[in-house]
Amino acid sequence: MSAPPLRSARIDLAALRSNVRALAARAPGAQVMAVVKADAYGHGLVPCGRAAREGGASWLGVALLQEALLLRQSGDTGRLLAWLYGPGEPLLEAAVAADVDLNVSATWALDEVRAAASRAGRPARLHLKIDTGLSRNGAPQADWAALVAAALDAERAGDVRVVGVWTHLAYADVPDHPTVDAQLERFRAAAAVAEEAGAQLEVRHAANSAATLTRPDAAFDLVRPGIAVYGISPVPDLGGPEAYGLRPVMRLSARLALVKRIPAGSGVSYGHEYVTSTETTVGLVPLGYADGIPRHAGGRGPVLAAGEVRPVAGRVCMDQFVLDLGDAAASAGDEVVLFGPGDDGEPSAEDWAVAAGTIAYEVVTRLGPRVERTWVGA
């Protein structure tokens, strides 16, 4: 029998399915697009995409065309939107051929998608994006009517079908922020412009996780939750996952690579930022910033080890960090848990985000390939 992995992320697909159902219940009139970009926020693109479908997501969403094509290669045949590419994107034709819906935010992109569609020999399905106030992706309002007109020309020529209009919110995590109302108002107007120009829209969509959970009026025909699918609250100041019926999907653990006694007054890890006050037992955790453990969480990142939650002792190194276990009984090979759903009193990804001065999105998406993923509950 081989030893359990030294570094392990256990992904609970039953929790993921249940999270998708909880999100769908928040948006009763809308379809759900589970966002699985960035390797499903570090949780594994293909197994999570499949579980999201089983939980009721009739759409999947990704940023990159490569991500969409990986899903297609895995056998996924449902509705799928990819939204981020640049001029000269080499995968456009393959994406059209694979029936991947594409974002268009500018006329150069429309032209390139048209050309790719004629090479692929089938019309491309487009979602036109309007920038209603994030100033990120999306056509500026001043260009909207012209982009709609050009896309409908391309539709009449048989090159594309305009199936969606969409936007993204700047302040969805502050549900009563005045920009949310203002953006939704501009979005309704932009959708009306497209429909009056003759677009036969299948879906209008604007809501990420935060808006799905807190702004039912942003649901339109389709919601696009990402982080909440993985059981992490997008609005930690308003409520944790349990407040929204969500359960964290990932549990990150490691096995101690070494345990030893060291004397009082020992400096621990680079720069000796932690110094032992008494003789004590230290445990070596074989995870470091190369695995995505934030170096900014040195001295603070919480770990359940030998029956207690203990902060990282000193700096996080590239491959490892140290825990001060006091006089607790511990041995090499013992499991320690960095974060998980909390069943055993372990911290959450949100706790690590607070310790590192970041957001839980970054904690889970940064987990590196040296952390072995195992999927349970398939």
Ligand X SMILES: *Cc1c(COP(=O)(O)O)cnc(C)c1O
Which residues are designated catalytic?
Answer: 37, 270
Residue closest to 276 by CA, chosen among 289, 285, 267? 267
Judge whether 136 is annotated as a binding position: yes
Q: How far apart are CA 117 and CA 126, in angstroms?
A: 11
- Total residue length of the chain: 378
> Is the Cβ of residue 37 or residue 215 nearer to ligand X in the bound state?
37
Residue 329, number of CB atoms within 10 A of its CB: 10
3-class secondary-structure state, position 81 = strand
From 224, 247, 310, 373, residue interacting with ligand X (rule: CB under 6 A)? 224
> Is the Cβ of residue 111 or residue 362 nearer to ligand X in the bound state?
362
Q: List CB contacts of 47: < 8 A, sequence separation 6 or more.
A: 11, 13, 40, 375, 378
Half-sphere exposure of 2 toward its Cβ, with a 13 Å CA cutoff?
3
3-class secondary-structure state, position 89 = coil
Beta sheet of 250-255, edge-to-edge order: 258-262, 280-285, 321-326, 308-313, 302-305, 335-339, 250-255, 7-12, 372-376
> Is the Cβ of residue 214 or residue 276 nearer to ligand X in the bound state?
214
DSSP per residue, 200-251:
--SEEEEE-HHHHHH-GGG-TTEE---GGGGT--S-TTT--GGGGT----EE
By CB under 6 A, tell whether 227 contacts ligand X. Answer: yes
Sign of CA dihedral 163, 168, 169, 173: positive
Q: Find the radius of gyration of the CA atoms of the chain.
A: 23
> Is the Cβ of residue 226 or residue 298 nearer to ligand X in the bound state?
226
Which residue of this chain has its Cβ atom nearest to ligand X in the complex?
226
Min dist CB 224 to ligand X, Å, is: 4
By CB under 6 A, tell whether 19 contacts ligand X. Answer: no
Q: List CB contacts of 59: < 8 A, sequence separation 6 or more.
A: 31, 32, 33, 34, 78, 79, 80, 81, 222
> Is the Cβ of residue 234 or residue 342 nearer to ligand X in the bound state?
234
> Are 42 and 362 spatial neighbours (Cβ–Cβ below 8 Å)?
no
Instruction: Please identify, among the stretches 226-234, 251-259, 266-274, 300-308, the one whose residues bind ligand X according to the rule CB under 6 A.
Output: 226-234
Instruction: Please identify, among the stretches 222-230, 252-260, 319-327, 329-337, the one whose residues bind ligand X according to the rule CB under 6 A.
Output: 222-230
Min dist CB 63 to ligand X, Å, is: 6
By CB under 6 A, tell whether 42 contacts ligand X. Answer: no
By CB under 6 A, what part of segment 295-324 binds ligand X? none
Instruction: Please identify, among the stretches 157-165, 191-199, 227-235, 328-336, the one whose residues bind ligand X according to the rule CB under 6 A.
Output: 227-235
Min dist CB 201 to ligand X, Å, is: 17
> Is the Cβ of residue 58 or residue 266 nearer to ligand X in the bound state?
58
Q: How far apart are CA 219 and CA 223, in angstroms?
A: 5
From 9, 13, 35, 40, residue interacting with ligand X (rule: CB under 6 A)? 35
From 225, 231, 241, 248, residue interacting with ligand X (rule: CB under 6 A)? 225
Instruction: Please identify, among the stretches 178-186, 187-195, 225-233, 287-295, the one whose residues bind ligand X according to the rule CB under 6 A.
Output: 225-233
By CB under 6 A, what part of segment 79-108 binds ligand X? 83
From 53, 114, 125, 168, residue interacting with ligand X (rule: CB under 6 A)? 168
Residue closest to 114 by CA, chosen among 78, 153, 57? 153
Instruction: Please identify, among the stretches 185-193, 221-229, 293-301, 335-343, the one whose residues bind ligand X according to the rule CB under 6 A.
Output: 221-229
Judge whether 295 is annotated as a binding position: no
User: Binding site for substrate: residue ranges?
Assistant: 136, 318
User: Binding site: residue ranges?
Assistant: 136, 318
- Contacts to ligand X by CB under 6 A: 35, 37, 83, 168, 208-209, 224-228, 234
